[in-house]
Copies of this chain bind each other. A is one copy, B any other.
């Protein structure tokens, strides 16, 4: 066994070829990363997706796939769509808070205006 096989080839119990599509993104010291992505997408699908991408975008694609796979393992019903819902709620809350605060500004500015006007007529 070659101890320098990448985590994917180690997991798949196969020889790690020189031009292994997984090797640059799955170093042997992080076996969990490949296990997670393999469990959700399957090695074949991940390899196919990477092959369809230009080299310089593959690292980012692997990171986003790993993130989604981890979310799906953690939350098998909603996956990372659960995070999207949570963020949408946070945006809604922030926007409500903003509208409330903008109304407070309008009230305070009206008060300032009224006080200044009444000063002019004193």
Contacts and interface: CB of A to CB of B under 8 A. Distances in A.
Interface of A: 40-42, 44-45, 49, 52-53, 57, 60-61, 64-65, 67-68, 72, 76-84, 87-88, 90-91, 94-95, 97-98, 101-102, 104-105, 108-109, 111-112, 115-116, 119, 122
Contacts of A108: 105, 108-109, 111-112
Nearest to A104: B105
Assembly of this chain: how many copies?
Answer: 2
A14 B67 CA distance: 33
Nearest to A81: B64
A98 to B, nearest CB: 5
A80 B80 contact: yes
Nearest to A60: B77
Contacts of A81: 64, 67-68, 80
Contacts of A67: 81
A57 B95 CA distance: 31
